[in-house]
Amino acid sequence: MARNKSNEYAGAATFNWITSTMKGLSEFYEVTNTGHQTKLKEGDVMNLIKVLNHIKDMYDQEENLILQQDAVYETLMRLDKEGLGNDKQMKTLKKIGQNLKQLKDDCADRKSVV
């Protein structure tokens, strides 16, 4: 009888977690990036509040985003040592990290303008 490999370190659960975590990071970037770039008109308080909430969300989630990136990175490095490395996932993670860093910088710039 074959063993169920879903609970092994290099099993399906690990790969699903990596994929879903990176997808979540990407979605956070897309939503927050779109939200903080909303055009503001004179006296448009509702959109101003939305923009400020997106900027606040970036700062509130910053530590969690870094932690998630680190966890995925360490997991990918561990899998690489076992011969199960995936360069595509590592490149995707690097791109996500660059996007989130740029988002943080953009939010800081936008906050000073608003």
Residue 37 lies in a domain: no
Residue 106 lies in a domain: yes
Q: Is the pLDDT of residue 11 over 90?
A: no
The answer to whether 35 touches 51, Cβ cutoff 8 Å, is yes
Residue 82 lies in a domain: yes
Residue 27 lies in a domain: no
**In the chain, how many domains are there?**
1
Model pTM score: 0.84
Residue 56 lies in a domain: no
Q: 24 or 14: whose pLDDT is higher?
A: 24
Percentage of the chain exceeding pLDDT 90: 53
Q: What is the signed CA dihedral for 18, 22, 23, 26, rounded to 10 degrees?
A: 180
Domain hosting 97: range is 62-114
Concatenated DSSP letters for 14-67?
HHHHHHHHHHHHHHHHHHHHHHHT----TT-HHHHHHHHHHHHHHHHHHHHHHH
Average pLDDT value for residue range 82-102:
91
Confidence of residue 83 (pLDDT cuts 50, 70, 90): confident
